[in-house]
Amino acid sequence: MIVNDLRPRGYCHGVARALSIVKKAINDETVVKPIYILGLIVHNKKIKEAFDYYHVISLEESGKTRVELAKQVIDGTVILTAHGVSPEVKTILNERNIPYIDATCKDVYHVHDHIKEHLKTHEIIYIGKKNHPEVEGALGISNEIALVSNLDEAKNYQKRSNKPIYITNQTTLSVFDVAFMVEAISAKFQDVTFDQDICAATLNRQKAVIEQSEADLLIVVGDNLSSNSNKLKYVSEVQTNTKAKLIETIDDIKIEWLKDIKIVNVTSGASTPTAVTNEVISFLKQFDYNKKETWDHVSKLTHLDILS
Ligand code: SF4
């Protein structure tokens, strides 16, 4: 079996920065403990588990907004995640005298800046996934921003003012989905301005999947919650007709997927630790369906490997 290690893959600059901020805060005696993170610092449960060892408290995000999570904190220091937050979260923390460290990615702030620049002059449409923390942060800038999450919503969009329309988007979406939604809105209304704000890390990883699509299978190593990892799988299946599997670790591999596979491509989301992907690649390189002794795929990584 040929194993292609697609590049680029793995940590983007925003994730690398966020992780280094948390590591520094753990060892910094001037940072008031405990350290809280509003949700996951980046969308990868392995990283969350590794930080658990250092008593970093990642507040449970299931169904809760960042605003609700911020209200839970009564002491210590908060680290704002790479996805960014709405201004209200910062206000809540300031009112409670809770210090915070901002690990928001600069590409997310770039979108916030675009929204603020056009707020007075335009009717703003933000293309993003409902309930995603990055979307909560962007929509929290103003209650006049309309969220469009799929093609149907784009086709049925009703204007709410006489202002021209300005469109921007969540950084980690599929470039094709966004283009279709913008096209649908532009077909209905005149005076539409669009800034394509998918970040370079997401774009380049999607491009690598499309350009190196000569494979029977693509394995995407990434968390189920990770938007950019899910989009890599989606782009492979929809744009290149190559079946794809999203796995969080080597343990998730099903041996039957590999039967009759001659070429497998491997990529990973922008928040996947390199050690996790390398373990998958090493397993695949030695795998032979006809030799059962090559089938063992239990992760041996420790929290130190994950954070290395
Ligand atoms: S995926 Fe893009 S927006 Fe998200 S942290 Fe990485 S560079 Fe920033």
- Pocket perturbation via mutation, ligand 1, pick of 17, 102, 108, 173 by most ligand atoms within 8 A of CB: 108
- Measure Cα distances from 229 to 53, 87, 132, 193, 291 in Å: 25, 27, 14, 28, 31
Q: What spacing in Å lies between the alpha carbon of 198 and ligand 1's midpoint? A: 9
Q: Whose CA is nearest to atom 2 of ligand 1?
A: 199
Which residues are designated catalytic? 134
CB crowding 253-264: b at 16 or more within 10 Å, else e: beeeebeebeeb
Angle (CA) 14-18-22 rounded to 5° is: 170
299 lines ligand 1 (CB under 6 A): no
pTM of the model: 0.94
Around 108, how many Cα atoms within 13 Å sit in the side-chain half-sphere?
27
Rounded Cα gap, residues 292 and 130, in angstroms: 44
Domain ranges of the chain: 2-11+200-307, 13-105, 107-194
pLDDT for 52 equals 96
Calculate the CA 70 to chain-centre distance: 21
228 lines ligand 1 (CB under 6 A): yes
Rounded Cα gap, residues 168 and 102, in angstroms: 23
The CATH code that applies to domain 13-105 is 3.40.50.11270
Q: What spacing in Å lies between the alpha carbon of 83 and ligand 1's midpoint? A: 8
**pLDDT tens-digit profile, the chain (308 residues):** 999 999 999 899 999 999 999 999 999 999 999 999 999 999 999 999 999 999 999 998 778 999 999 999 999 999 999 999 999 999 999 999 999 999 999 999 999 999 999 999 999 999 999 999 999 999 999 999 999 999 999 999 999 999 999 999 999 999 999 999 999 999 999 999 999 999 999 999 999 999 988 999 999 999 999 999 999 999 999 999 999 999 999 999 999 999 999 999 999 999 999 999 999 999 999 999 999 999 999 999 999 999 98
226 lines ligand 1 (CB under 6 A): no
Q: What spacing in Å lies between the alpha carbon of 185 and ligand 1's midpoint? A: 26
Count each helix (H run) and each strand (E run) in the chain, helices first: 12, 12
Rounded Cα gap, residues 38 and 30, in angstroms: 20
| SS3 assignment, position 131 | coil
The CATH code that applies to domain 2-11+200-307 is 3.40.1010.20
199 lines ligand 1 (CB under 6 A): yes
Q: What spacing in Å lies between the alpha carbon of 126 and ligand 1's midpoint? A: 17
- Helix crossing, 175-188 with 227-239: angle to 10°? 80
50 lines ligand 1 (CB under 6 A): no
Q: What spacing in Å lies between the alpha carbon of 59 and ligand 1's midpoint? A: 21
The CATH code that applies to domain 107-194 is 3.40.1010.20
- Among candidates 249, 245, 267, which has minimal Cα distance to 306? 249
| Within this chain, domains 13-105 and 107-194 share the same CATH topology | no
111 lines ligand 1 (CB under 6 A): no
Structure tokens at 202: 């997401």
Residue 4 backbone dihedrals phi, psi, to 5 degrees: -100, 125
Are 65 and 136 in contact by the 8 Å Cβ rule? The answer is: yes
| SS3 assignment, position 37 | strand
